[in-house]
Amino acid sequence: MLKYLDKNLNKIYQFSGYIAALFLIFVAIFILIGISSRIFNFYIRGLAEYSGYCMAAASFFALSYTFIHGGHIRITLFFEKLKGAKKKIIEIWCLSLACIFSGYLAYYFLKMIIISYNFQERSEGADEILIWIPQTSVSLGSIIFFICILHHLILKIFSK
Q: CB 106: neighbour CB atoms within 10 A?
A: 21
What are the sequence ranges of the domains in the chain? 2-158
**More confident: 55 or 6:** 55
For the cut 90, the answer to whether the pLDDT of residue 69 exceeds it is no
Q: Write down the pTM of the prediction.
A: 0.89
Residues 115-123, mean pLDDT to the nearest whole number: 92
Q: pLDDT at position 98, please?
A: 93
At 126-149, the pLDDT tens digits run 778 899 999 999 999 999 999 999
6 — pLDDT class (breaks 50, 70, 90): confident
| pLDDT (tens digit per residue) in 84-111 | 888 889 889 989 999 999 999 999 999 9
What average pLDDT does range 18-38 have in this prediction?
94
Listed as own residue / partner, the contacts of 41-48 with beta carbons closer than 8 Å and 24 or more positions apart are 45/126, 45/127, 46/125, 46/126, 46/127, 46/129, 48/125
Look at residue 20 and give its three-state secondary structure.
helix
pLDDT given for residue 1 in this prediction: 66
Average pLDDT over all residues of the chain: 90
* pLDDT over 90 (residue 76): no
